[in-house]
Structure 1
Amino acid sequence: MILKTEYIAPCSMAYIRHTGPYGPGNIETMEHLKHWAKSRDLMNGHSVILGIAQDNPQIIPPETCRYDACILLPDGYSGSGSGGNSGRNSGGSSDTEKEVHLGSITGGKYGVFTIDHTAEAVKQAWEEVFQQLFKENYIPDSSRPILERYKAELIEQHLCELCIPIL
């Protein structure tokens, strides 16, 4: 894997949160977000989607792990039509609007790994990225979340990125 460093600028996003074990629920949440974004013309060739695992399942009980499926919002997006303050995806709600929340990424320096967009490649990357960061003298910044980044132009090439915040 090739490591590059990148400054990711602070940005606004819309997100849907899934609470529970990581896996199929994350995929369902991501599809729910894409449907919401398409209905608001937010999906295009410049769209950037993020997956943010908020908790370490080796430390936090799986049933309380949080996963945010996010889409970066264009400058000036008003957010009309989104709502709710619970920050949680109930999974069975028929009122999508209450599940979509607005938030932001603080930005900063990241170690970025471009990988194949397959379950096997992502799993392998998670096993190797920290070793490679340490090998190249980078220290992860645990105060910011790790981002799985899906840029439209990379998805077309069956690629995605793991972005690890670094000091």
Structure 2
Amino acid sequence: MDAKIENIPSCTIAYMRQTGPYGTTNVNVQLMEKFKCWVKANHLFTDQSILLGIAQDNPAFVAPENCRYDACLVVPDDYRVNADGVKLGNIRGGRYAVFKVTHTVEAVQRAWGEVFLQLENEGFTLDETRPILERYTVELVNNHTCEICIPIK
């Protein structure tokens, strides 16, 4: 799996949050589907839309029932949310190692098991001050892929 290095700009996001274990249930998938319905109902989905999935907590240090997952949409800086359950936030930009992955449960789980070792082997250090992103664009989804974006120093 090859990584490309990309400078992802800082951005404003609209998001919905789920708290609970990662990966063992489909609640995060359900959250993303609910969020996509909100995005479409509010006419925010275009060919240039960028959806993000953000696991906010490291389950090695945070109890599974307290792990936070955000389903996000990059929005204009002046966007105002007028919906219950949708909040605004910001992502600080910087250098990321970007891995393109087939968008299946198996491929994404395999990628999560490999990306950190690959980064270490290539001499990169994880920047723990910024979130790891799962990025989805229309083009990626149409090609049954997504990107795992790991912040690096």
What's the TM-score once normalised by structure 2's chain length? Answer: 0.94
1:64 correspondence with 2:50: no
Residue in structure 2 matching 1:45, options 41, 47, 59: 47
Deviations 1:53-111 (A, max 9, x none): 0112232111111001100113543x141xxxxxxxxxxxxxxx221001111111000
Structure 2 CA distance for aligned equivalents of residues 46 and 10 of structure 1:
17
Residue in structure 2 matching 1:105, options 85, 88, 91: 91
Question: How many residues get paired?
Answer: 151
Which SS does the other structure have where 2:45 is aligned?
coil
Amino acid at match of 1:130: F
Which SS does the other structure have where 1:32 is aligned?
helix
Amino acid at match of 2:5: T
Where do 5+ consecutive residues of structure 2 fail to align? none
Identity, % of aligned positions:
52
Show the 5 A alignment for 1:1-167. 1-22=1-22, 23-77=25-79, 79-81=80-82, 97-167=83-153
Q: CA RMSD in A?
A: 1.1
Which SS does the other structure have where 1:154 is aligned?
helix
Q: CA deviation at 1:40?
A: 1.1
Structure 1 CA distance for aligned equivalents of residues 69 and 77 of structure 2:
24
Which SS does the other structure have where 1:99 is aligned?
coil
What's the TM-score once normalised by structure 1's chain length? Answer: 0.87
Where do 5+ consecutive residues of structure 1 fail to align? 82-96
Amino acid at match of 1:47: S
